[in-house]
């Protein structure tokens, strides 16, 4: 090991809980530390991914994505091949809040509208946009990537550092509970995915983790579990598909009538 090329990062929570991402980034400097192309802080990494995806789309637009040069189908395929992987790089490790997911999906839809050449005053609803691009909200891809990666960790050796840290997370502790606003972590997001299936399965204890580890050894059964989790996610009735402009206008009329 070359000590001059080795970096030691200490991960610790701030002494106080704050809802401000910028203040938290200052108190927890490790969030902006880059490892294997990703930042350790999920929200910070998503923000960085957006910048990279925006730059990639601008470069692609100059060369290939102009509406006068290529067909709409080709533009969408180029976007899905060269820009979307940059946006979703390492997304299987993200533990995002609902607001983070909605913000990421909104960014994705803006890029799709740019690819299709839809600008003001032209409009298109979110449902029509997804159908026209043969796409779905990003939460489906992120959830699938999260569970595929989780399955690989569970199928690996029990000496795998990723599994060891996951098992340690569920170990009983003599320390008191952390005061302040609860943090969104990857185990809590995985537990929420299981809870959405309404089958009584959870990921809250080490026993639950070992049960999932046993199931993950059978790749066919694990694929069925992933498909079931995806199937229980919100469908086209979700607000993601709604016409957000119309929703805002209706909300304004409702407030004005009160």
The pLDDT assigned to 64 comes to 72
126 CB-contact burial (10 Å; exposed 0-12 / middle 13-18 / buried 19+): buried
The pLDDT assigned to 143 comes to 95
Nearest to 24 by CA among 2, 42, 6: 42
Q: Tell me the mean pLDDT in the region 203-232.
A: 93
Q: Tell me the mean pLDDT in the region 214-238.
A: 85
Q: Tell me the mean pLDDT in the region 57-61.
A: 88
- pLDDT category at 237 given cuts 50, 70, 90 is very low
Task: Mark whether 153 and 130 lie in a shared domain.
Answer: no
Task: Mark whether 128 and 149 lie in a shared domain.
Answer: no
With a cut of 70, say whether residue 43 has pLDDT above it.
yes
Task: Mark whether 100 and 156 lie in a shared domain.
Answer: no
Task: Mark whether 130 and 152 lie in a shared domain.
Answer: no
Task: Mark whether 153 and 112 lie in a shared domain.
Answer: no
**Inside any domain, residue 216:** yes
With a cut of 60, say whether residue 29 has pLDDT above it.
yes
Q: Tell me the mean pLDDT in the region 117-122.
A: 87
With a cut of 70, say whether residue 239 has pLDDT above it.
no
With a cut of 50, say whether residue 63 has pLDDT above it.
yes
**Inside any domain, residue 127:** yes
What is the C-alpha separation between 21 and 46, in angstroms, rounded?
12
Tally of structural domains, the chain: 2
Task: Mark whether 70 and 126 lie in a shared domain.
Answer: yes
The pLDDT assigned to 4 comes to 60
Lowest mean pLDDT among 134-138, 161-165, 173-177, 201-205: 173-177
- pLDDT category at 132 given cuts 50, 70, 90 is very high
Q: Tell me the mean pLDDT in the region 119-132.
A: 91
Nearest to 146 by CA among 196, 209, 205, 96: 96
Task: Mark whether 111 and 150 lie in a shared domain.
Answer: no
Q: What is the pTM of this model?
A: 0.80
**Inside any domain, residue 208:** yes
With a cut of 90, say whether residue 149 has pLDDT above it.
yes
Please measure the distance between the N-terminal and C-terminal CA atoms of the chain and give it in whole angstroms.
69
The pLDDT assigned to 56 comes to 93
**Inside any domain, residue 27:** no
**Inside any domain, residue 109:** yes
With a cut of 60, say whether residue 116 has pLDDT above it.
yes
Q: Are 66 and 45 in contact (CB under 8 A)?
A: no
With a cut of 50, say whether residue 79 has pLDDT above it.
yes
The pLDDT assigned to 14 comes to 56
**Inside any domain, residue 167:** yes
Task: Mark whether 105 and 151 lie in a shared domain.
Answer: no
**Inside any domain, residue 28:** no
Task: Mark whether 101 and 154 lie in a shared domain.
Answer: no
**Inside any domain, residue 116:** yes
Q: Are 170 and 188 in contact (CB under 8 A)?
A: no
Q: Tell me the mean pLDDT in the region 45-58.
A: 92
Task: Mark whether 156 and 131 lie in a shared domain.
Answer: no
Task: Mark whether 123 and 149 lie in a shared domain.
Answer: no
Task: Mark whether 130 and 151 lie in a shared domain.
Answer: no
Domain that holds residue 213: 144-171+184-231
What is the C-alpha separation between 173 and 185, in angstroms, rounded?
17
With a cut of 60, say whether residue 13 has pLDDT above it.
no
């Amino acid at each position: 090991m070359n000590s001059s090329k080795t970096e030691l990062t200490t991960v610790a929570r701030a002494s106080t809980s704050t809802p401000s991402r910028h203040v938290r980034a200052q108190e927890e400097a490790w969030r902006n530390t880059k490892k294997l192309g990703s930042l350790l802080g999920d929200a910070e990494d998503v923000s960085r991914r957006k910048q990279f995806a925006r730059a990639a789309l601008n470069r692609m637009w100059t060369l290939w994505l102009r509406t006068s040069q290529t067909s709409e189908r080709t533009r969408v395929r180029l976007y899905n091949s060269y820009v979307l992987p940059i946006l979703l790089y390492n997304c299987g490790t993200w533990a995002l809040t609902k607001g983070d997911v909605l913000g990421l999906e909104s960014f994705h839809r803006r890029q799709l509208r740019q690819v299709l050449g839809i600008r003001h005053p032209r409009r298109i609803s979110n449902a029509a946009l997804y159908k026209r691009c043969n796409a779905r909200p990003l939460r489906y891809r992120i959830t699938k990537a999260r569970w595929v990666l989780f399955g690989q960790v569970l199928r690996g050796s029990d000496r795998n550092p990723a599994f060891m840290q996951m098992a340690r997370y569920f170990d009983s502790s003599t320390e008191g509970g952390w005061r302040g606003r609860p943090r969104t972590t990857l185990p809590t997001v995985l537990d929420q995915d299981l809870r959405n299936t309404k089958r009584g399965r959870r990921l809250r204890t080490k026993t639950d983790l070992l049960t999932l580890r046993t199931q993950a050894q059978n790749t066919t059964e694990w694929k069925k579990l992933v498909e079931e989790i995806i199937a229980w996610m919100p469908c086209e009735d979700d607000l993601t598909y709604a016409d957000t402009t119309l929703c805002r206008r209706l909300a304004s009329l409702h407030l004005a009538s009160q």
